[in-house]
Structure 1
Amino acid sequence: MGTRGLAVLLLAAVLLQALLPASEAEGLVRIALKKRHIDRNSRVAASLSGREEGQHHLIGGANTLRSEEEGDIVSLKNYMNAQYFGEIGVGTPPQKFTVIFDTGSSNLWVPSAKCYFSIACYLHARYKAGASSTYKKNGKPAAIQYGTGSIAGYFSEDSVTVGDLVVKDQEFIEATKEPGEGGEIIFGGMDPKHYVGEHTYVPVTQKGYWQFDMGDVLVGGKSTGFCAGGCAAIADSGTSLLAGPTAIITEINEKIGAAGVVSQECKTIVSQYGQQILDLLLAETQPKKVCSQVGLCTFDGTRGVSAGIRSVVDDEPVKSNGLHTDPMCSACEMAVVWMQNQLAQNKTQDLILDYVNQLCNRLPSPMGESAVDCASLGSMPDIEFTISGKKFALKPEEYILKVGEGAAAQCISGFTAMDIPPPRGPLWILGDVFMGPYHTVFDYGKLRVGFAKAA
């Protein structure tokens, strides 16, 4: 597996709750991953910034799992260098479906034969309950809202086959409405051929989403400051890009030359309140109280930038009280973070105000994608994530997605903005862009996630 490969290991996998006893070597279940290069035509067909509606999702508990043969190998494919999916069977005899092995989701769903009004259903295999001898009716309604896209349908129960492993009476959703290098997923152990050195482990803080605590994010070796006191993060194989707080993504955009959106609210903050904010910070006013003291926020304490964006870990949209979604308040909060960071680097006040004004021109696109100059990859900085005290760096060729070849090539930033308010946020989603270069271990038995450089 190459450096951009993905090797996801579930030591006591979410999917596997009961395996027949076997030796460590014999008990491994391997699912091979293959690579399909991204191209301009396929780019039109999918959103790179989250879970695409057209793929099905696999995760969730199992009642009983048996293997008639050890060492099963099932071919998986890489979709646009951004998602990994493979084949499972549902029912008896098995009806074949390609699914995303999504560590950031807790549900298994496939399109239903009763999905009549969504075009996406007609582009995929559909589950026919009447064709399965092991089908059991459930009927409970279901609806899932992802970061991008959603599905709705109802629960059913049937046998689910992964390789030669069979899960009996597995609950899943029949959806009736759908609005790098290859690698390997290994169940039950890990293969040292896929990684270099030792893994760095971090405890899981939110079991439903493989969530853990993450430290500072550095751009070109310099702290962005925003997560210096800690941020939450999720290792999510069902998300294509790296999603993080707008304040940090804007700084990354500025450093890599990504096209952004000009924010007039941000520019107004700098021109009318910039000096006042700086004076308060120099007077050692608590940063979280600065925006309320200048009259731009009506509360003491950061509620999170753009808090109205729907969370991928919530089923319901964030409730707004009319305060923390105010664009002027949000812009002020970002400006405070940026100014704090520059003050820590002993920059002059004039340089700080000029820098923040430049960042106002680099806010992430609401569409999720930010274009960059392919010819500038050599001058772009490494982006480092601090996990359990260790820095994990991404090189430009790892966080920039290239569409096409030669003079027709286009490059897209692998970073997208997503703001989750406290207490759940600030939150990072470390998707396939991160999990490609880093061998990832999901240790269900010890409730921890481990990372090592992919081999």
Structure 2
Amino acid sequence: MMLIRQAIYFCLLATFLHPTTSLFRVGLKKRRLELDDIRTGRVIRKLKHSQGELTYYPSFATLGSDPSQENQVILKNYLDAQYYGVIGIGTPSQEFEVIFDTGSSNLWVPSIHCKLFDLACWVHHQYRSSQSNTYTKNGKPCTITYGSGSISGFFSEDNVKVGGLVVKDQEFIEATHEGSLSFLLAKFDGLLGLGFQEISVGNAVPVWYNMVDQELVKEKVFSFWLNRDAGAEIGGEIVFGGVDPAHFKGNHTYVPVTKKGYWQFNMGDIFVGNNSTGFCEQGCDAIMDSGTSLLAGPTTVIAQINHGIGATGVVSAECKIVVSQYGEMIWDLLVSKVLPNLVCKQIGLCVFGKETEVISVVEQEESSVLCKVCEMAVVWVETRLKQKETKEKVFEDLNKICESFPSPAGESIIDCNNIQNMPNVTFTIGGNPFSLTPQQYILKTGVGYAETCISGFSAYDLPPPTGPLWILGDVFMGAYHTVFDSGNLQIGIAEAA
């Protein structure tokens, strides 16, 4: 009996000295996604990429919207993000609901020093530095400009509680002005970025970096599990310091991070059913982004995907004009081995802006639409040429695709009664196929007679040199458990449990 007691004693002692787990968890909440949220988020995405490059000044940081720079912080797509969690800032802790966003790198919350008539700031929780015993003044101003509005504030430092961890002296932004209706409507207080420091406004050290530097986690790894069960009480979980085996099945496929900033990697071909879209056969740049709900990509291939799954967009007159007036020319140029990326330029549909005289905004918008349609047609024709399809069949299908061309808001509608008949859509990552079933890539909004089914594939065109870029958001991350390994600069993907 004495030996048994001693054994129990030593086991308990070992447990206290060496905890059985080094994982720290943050539970996520989930809210219903509404159609207006998606559309408003689409507007925000367009605005934040509409300006020039980021420029820094000695004491004043201005955030532009060149995606290769530090432009993914405040203007992140709050409104179409479904998952959020609670953090605490200060001592005693002041709670905020934030989006945990792998597509940006700063921590940002509203400040009690909001301007008097800034409604967007006042309808959310505000940080009060005077009520924190661990607050340290910084004061460095920061302005984030975008489109026709801006968000401004200043940096402060305080302790930040994330799950069971307390990060000391974390630099974050107190927002004092939110000059956009979008932030008034946002359901969340702020944002906690989990991207790399390379895209951090003001070069602030991200929360995740400080977790590692302060030795709060054993491994330089955090992982996401998003629960796509709409009726479940638990929305999901982020694990800092490792992975929870209960969250995934089988083994992870790991791919290297190709560019620090976003969690960016190389993605291979995309299939609708068994048919290749041909767009990413030679590889495409993609990012794993927990801060957006949909899966976004270039219009040229999103139109093909939505056509393949039976989605309908807006019947595009411009699309049919391109097919009828330029289809033969596109065919002939591709048959004569003209490089696909030069076809639309030779035709004259993608030569505008800097390459020609200054034209009106309306003319440039029309030229942009025709260019996108032409590029989509080139990809389609090139792929079908490889499959040795007849010209008549190629253009018959191309005219059908015109009817699936995404609406100006970026979304395409699905018949809710046809979901069970739709094909899987498969993404090739690390040489392995990762398929999404219709139940996984269709989003339902509204209830009862107002229920609408929306394709989870959204058109989003990011120009070179940063684009084209695929954004794998919650539609993908809900189906696949994702591991973000900053120690080895790699991303792991496995089937979610």
The alignment's TM-score, normalised by the length of structure 2, stands at 0.71
Q: Is the 8 A contact 1:234 1:430 kept in 2?
A: yes
Q: Is the 8 A contact 1:51 1:239 kept in 2?
A: no
2:242 match: secondary structure: coil
Residue correspondence of structure 1 range 104-143 to structure 2 within 5 A: 104-116=103-115, 117-143=117-143
Q: Is the 8 A contact 1:51 1:149 kept in 2?
A: no
> Counterpart in 2 of 1:72?
none
Deviations 1:386-430 (A, max 9, x none): 101111000011011112445542211111111122332221110
> Counterpart in 2 of 1:214?
267
In the alignment, structure 1 residue 266 sits paired with structure 2 residue 309: no
Q: Is the 8 A contact 1:215 1:230 kept in 2?
A: yes
Deviations 1:186-212 (A, max 9, x none): 111111111111100000012221111
**CA separation of 1:148 and 1:24: change in aligned 2, threshold 3 A:** farther
Gaps of 5+ in 1: 1-21, 54-78, 304-321
Deviations 1:170-191 (A, max 9, x none): 1111112332233221111111
Residue correspondence of structure 1 range 29-428 to structure 2 within 5 A: 29-38=24-33, 43-44=35-36, 47=39, 49=41, 82-116=81-115, 117-144=117-144, 151-178=151-178, 179=180, 180-181=228-229, 182-298=235-351, 326-428=368-470
**CA separation of 1:166 and 1:454: change in aligned 2, threshold 3 A:** same
Deviations 1:188-243 (A, max 9, x none): 11111111111000000122211111111111121111111111111111111111
Q: Partners of 1:113 and 1:92 in 2: how far apart?
A: 16
Residue 80 (structure 1) shift: 10
Greater helix share, structure number: 2
Aligned pairs, how many?
385
User: Does 228-237 or 44-53 show the bigger shift?
Assistant: 44-53
Q: Partners of 2:366 and 2:448 in 1: how far apart?
A: 45
> Counterpart in 2 of 1:440?
482
Residue 250 (structure 1) shift: 0.6
Q: Partners of 2:147 and 2:164 in 1: how far apart?
A: 33
Deviations 1:238-285 (A, max 9, x none): 111111110111112212332312333322221111112111212222
Q: Is the 8 A contact 1:51 1:146 kept in 2?
A: no
2:372 match: secondary structure: helix
Q: Is the 8 A contact 1:49 1:416 kept in 2?
A: no
Q: Which of structures 1 and 2 has the bigger CA Rg? A: 2
Residue 444 (structure 1) shift: 0.8
Q: Partners of 1:379 and 1:149 in 2: how far apart?
A: 44
> Counterpart in 1 of 2:22?
27
Q: Partners of 1:35 and 1:433 in 2: how far apart?
A: 13
1:216 match: secondary structure: strand
Q: Partners of 1:50 and 1:85 in 2: how far apart?
A: 19
Structure with more contact order per residue of length (Cα contacts < 8 Å, sep ≥ 6): 1
Q: Partners of 2:483 and 2:253 in 1: how far apart?
A: 10
CA RMSD after TM alignment: 2.9
Q: Partners of 1:86 and 1:171 in 2: how far apart?
A: 19
Letter paired with 1:139: G
Q: Partners of 2:19 and 2:305 in 1: how far apart?
A: 43
Percent of matched pairs sharing the same residue? 58
**CA separation of 1:404 and 1:263: change in aligned 2, threshold 3 A:** closer
Q: Partners of 1:23 and 1:264 in 2: how far apart?
A: 67
Letter paired with 2:295: L
